Chains A and B, each alone.
Chain A
Amino acid sequence: MASPHAEGRPGKEIGGAIPRFSWKSSLVILVVLGATGWSVVGTGFNLLELLTSGDPVGRFLSGMFPPDLSGAALQATGTGIMETFQMSLLGAIIGSIVAFPLAALGTRQNVLVGSSRTYRALLSIPYHLSRFLTNVFRSVPDILWALIFVVALGLGPFPGTLALAVHSAGVLGKLYGETLEAVPSRPVNALHSTGASGLGLFLFGRLPQAMSGFTSLTLYMWESNIRSATILGFVGAGGIGQQILVSMQLFNYSRLATLVAATVVLVLLVDRLSAAIRKRLVN
């Protein structure tokens, strides 16, 4: 029912769901367009080139068919796939073992009301230390860690696994810590109010509530590691990536096709498996 007040005014149209014209929105659009053009020029982005250079692309694609299914190719693929799987699994497991104490220390403590400044500052030292470590582990990408470990330890899956472990420790350390901090706090505070120590609060208050989250995050890390592990070979850190690189350099495109297809299957399988386990955990 229209009120007399509204009737007195000329009816305002509601308009569509697209924002109305304003100087601010026009400016935003101009800036986005400008940045896009600048990036196109900067990267030499040219789809025409992709279409007109049909010859090398066609040669590459036709070279991939039929895929090389010879015994040697299948053996190389199998070894690579297995190595990649092992690297990703071990990386996630070691990462989670290292991440656990880092997250435990990097969780904000229940502080007593009325405790001194010095006490609070002392309490925050391990917190900041572990946060710093997880940040370093996490912010260096795994492929950079792999380069570092390859230089230090030589070629092979061992430096690759270490790289995944260090990066996973950083990522999981942060995510575990966030999970621990996000658990419902009232039961934890109730234990605190009956005199529980910091360790008691952690073991019986936060940890049981965070455990299923930890498992789910670790599985996700494994999924993510299997994708990373496929390219660590490009810097000599083992796995199927190393085989892919060699096939590329030898222009052995039919073997490359087998390797790439196997990689896709592996990644999909692990994704499915991990998702299925995580779904069961939630229910």
Chain B
Amino acid sequence: MPDEGNKPVRGFALEGVTVRFGRVEALKDLNLSVEPGEQAAVIGASGAGKSTLFNVLTRNVPLAAGRVTVGGRDLFAMPARELKAVRRQVGLVHQAYNLIPQLSVGMNAALGEIGSMSNLRLIKTLLLGPDAGLTARVSGALDRLGLGEQIRTRTADVSGGQQQRAAVARLLVQSPGLVLADEPFAAVDPVTTDRVIETLAELNREGATLLINLHDVEVARRFPRVVALREGGVVFDGPPEQLTEERLGEIYAGETPGSVERGPEDPEVSGGVTPRKQDPARRLEGRDGLPAR
């Protein structure tokens, strides 16, 4: 649970944001604002700035110009303590899972809480494992993702799809107000994609804002709002119906729309399994046979 004095972090706004890596401008005078509880998909060719956008929202790259507000507060002006409080409420899902392979699946899920642990509790957790309350939340999250059996298994010993579900379990334990998902379906099987979508939908229904990077335009179309980046700027921002072929041509000039930017690294997805047959947006809206809350 967030500490006292922590306002919930959900919406964010970028005003005139420029990010430079050497002489390359990864983001150029970018303006984007996402309201609390909104869902938005981000598309764009490789090098368009999608990942940099995510790195800006976690303050992992310095700004050359502009302002970023998260939950109404200036992200880059806040002191370290406040930044930590904000980061606790920002959940990340990556294509590369980013779990600690040597730890058990359960411990990786428990690390969703690491941002709120005192030093004493960190050491206790290291020596004795998570306390009863956290353990209950971890096993609940793993059960929801069908990983209850793997709670004590070394993460390196489970499949890629199970690792991605473990990463989502970590997200559930963290219970963030803002979810940043960076290509979460790029390297996983359809079953995992299903589970990930369901879980993100539940978090969204509980009030979390969702920003998701997608390389697959067809999947992105199923979100109520699509933001397209090109050369570090927003070139499209609106409902998917307005995303015409012509527009797509502009967005992906020089690339095939919907092509896989980074080839599937996981042998499980050889053949480029993408969740075309599913309907994330409808699922996200909870109309697709999901248990009503």
Cβ A204 vs Cβ B100 within 8 A: yes
Please, which residue of chain B has its CB at the minimum distance from the CB of A193?
B58
Query: In this assembly, does A187 line the interface, its C-beta being within 8 Å of a C-beta of chain B?
Result: yes
Query: In this assembly, does A190 line the interface, its C-beta being within 8 Å of a C-beta of chain B?
Result: yes
List 9 other contacts, CB 8 Å, given A115-B80, A194-B174: A113-B62, A114-B59, A187-B100, A187-B101, A191-B111, A195-B87, A197-B119, A197-B122, A212-B102
Query: In this assembly, does A57 line the interface, its C-beta being within 8 Å of a C-beta of chain B?
Result: no
Cβ B80 vs Cβ A112 within 8 A: yes
Query: In this assembly, does B151 line the interface, its C-beta being within 8 Å of a C-beta of chain A?
Result: no
Chain B 104-134 interface 0/1 with A at a Cβ cutoff of 8 Å (1 = within)? 0001000110111101001101100000000
8 A-B pairs in the complex with CB atoms less than 8 angstroms apart: A112-B83, A191-B111, A194-B87, A194-B92, A194-B174, A195-B86, A195-B87, A195-B88
Query: In this assembly, does A186 line the interface, its C-beta being within 8 Å of a C-beta of chain B?
Result: yes
Contacts of A91 in B (CB 8 A): none
Please report the C-alpha to C-alpha distance between residue A204 and residue B98 in the assembled complex, in whole angstroms: 13
Contacts of B92 in A (CB 8 A): 190, 193-194
Chain A 96-140 interface 0/1 with B at a Cβ cutoff of 8 Å (1 = within)? 000000000000000011110001000000000000000000000
The 3 closest A-B pairs by CB, nearest first: A195-B115, A195-B87, A190-B98
Query: In this assembly, does A141 line the interface, its C-beta being within 8 Å of a C-beta of chain B?
Result: no
Please, which residue of chain A has its CB at the minimum distance from the CB of B88?
A195
Instruction: Identify which of B59, B111, B119 contacts A204 (C-beta below 8 A).
Output: B111
Please report the C-alpha to C-alpha distance between residue A68 and residue B123 in the assembled complex, in whole angstroms: 56
Please report the C-alpha to C-alpha distance between residue A56 and residue B107 in the assembled complex, in whole angstroms: 68
Q: How many A-B residue pairs have CB under 8 A?
A: 84
B52-106 contacts to A (CB < 8 Å) = 58-62, 76, 80, 83-88, 90-92, 94, 96, 98-103
Contacts of A199 in B (CB 8 A): 119, 122-123
Contacts of A50 in B (CB 8 A): none
Given contacts A112-B59, A194-B91, is CB(A204)–CB(B103) below 8 Å? yes
Interface residues in B, total, Cβ within 8 A: 38
Given contacts A112-B80, A193-B92, A195-B88, is CB(A187)–CB(B99) below 8 Å? yes
Query: In this assembly, does A34 line the interface, its C-beta being within 8 Å of a C-beta of chain B?
Result: no
Please, which residue of chain B has its CB at the minimum distance from the CB of A195?
B115
Given contacts A194-B174, A208-B103, is CB(A203)–CB(B123) below 8 Å? yes
Please, which residue of chain A has its CB at the minimum distance from the CB of B107?
A204
Given contacts A112-B83, A208-B100, is CB(A193)–CB(B88) below 8 Å? no
Query: In this assembly, does A228 line the interface, its C-beta being within 8 Å of a C-beta of chain B?
Result: no
Please report the C-alpha to C-alpha distance between residue A212 and residue B102 in the assembled complex, in whole angstroms: 10
Contacts of A209 in B (CB 8 A): 100-102
Contacts of B94 in A (CB 8 A): 186, 190
Please report the C-alpha to C-alpha distance between residue A199 and residue B100 in the assembled complex, in whole angstroms: 16
Query: In this assembly, does A69 line the interface, its C-beta being within 8 Å of a C-beta of chain B?
Result: no
Shortest Cβ gap from B148 to chain A (Å): 22
> Range of interface residues on chain A?
20 to 34
Please report the C-alpha to C-alpha distance between residue A186 and residue B182 in the assembled complex, in whole angstroms: 13
Query: In this assembly, does A200 line the interface, its C-beta being within 8 Å of a C-beta of chain B?
Result: yes
Contacts of A114 in B (CB 8 A): 59, 62, 76
Contacts of B88 in A (CB 8 A): 194-195
Cβ A197 vs Cβ B84 within 8 A: yes
Cβ B96 vs Cβ A186 within 8 A: yes
Cβ A113 vs Cβ B60 within 8 A: yes
Cβ A204 vs Cβ B84 within 8 A: no
Instruction: Identify which of A119, A189, A196, A204 contacts B60 (C-beta below 8 A).
Output: A189
Contacts of B98 in A (CB 8 A): 186-187, 189-190
The residue in A186, A193, A212 that gathers the most chain B C-beta atoms within 10 A of its C-beta is: A193
Please, which residue of chain A has its CB at the minimum distance from the CB of B94?
A190
Query: In this assembly, does A151 line the interface, its C-beta being within 8 Å of a C-beta of chain B?
Result: no
A191-237 contacts to B (CB < 8 Å) = 191, 193-197, 199-200, 203-205, 208-209, 211-212
Shortest Cβ gap from B161 to chain A (Å): 18
Contacts of A115 in B (CB 8 A): 80
Please report the C-alpha to C-alpha distance between residue A186 and residue B119 in the assembled complex, in whole angstroms: 22
The residue in B100, B116, B122 that gathers the most chain A C-beta atoms within 10 A of its C-beta is: B100
Given contacts A190-B98, A194-B115, A209-B102, is CB(A203)–CB(B126) below 8 Å? yes
Chain B 256-289 interface 0/1 with A at a Cβ cutoff of 8 Å (1 = within)? 0000000000000000000000000000000000
Please report the C-alpha to C-alpha distance between residue A190 and residue B108 in the assembled complex, in whole angstroms: 12
Contacts of B60 in A (CB 8 A): 113, 189, 193
Please report the C-alpha to C-alpha distance between residue A195 and residue B6 in the assembled complex, in whole angstroms: 13
Shortest Cβ gap from B141 to chain A (Å): 15
Please report the C-alpha to C-alpha distance between residue A200 and residue B61 in the assembled complex, in whole angstroms: 21
Shortest Cβ gap from B71 to chain A (Å): 14
Instruction: Identify which of A112, A195, A203, A208 contacts B122 (C-beta below 8 A).
Output: A203
Given contacts A187-B99, A209-B101, is CB(A113)–CB(B61) below 8 Å? yes
Please report the C-alpha to C-alpha distance between residue A112 and residue B116 in the assembled complex, in whole angstroms: 17
Please report the C-alpha to C-alpha distance between residue A205 and residue B111 in the assembled complex, in whole angstroms: 10
Cβ A195 vs Cβ B116 within 8 A: yes
A80-106 contacts to B (CB < 8 Å) = none
Please, which residue of chain A has its CB at the minimum distance from the CB of B61?
A113
Please report the C-alpha to C-alpha distance between residue A186 and residue B96 in the assembled complex, in whole angstroms: 9
Contacts of B117 in A (CB 8 A): 197, 200
Cβ B62 vs Cβ A200 within 8 A: no
Shortest Cβ gap from B91 to chain A (Å): 7
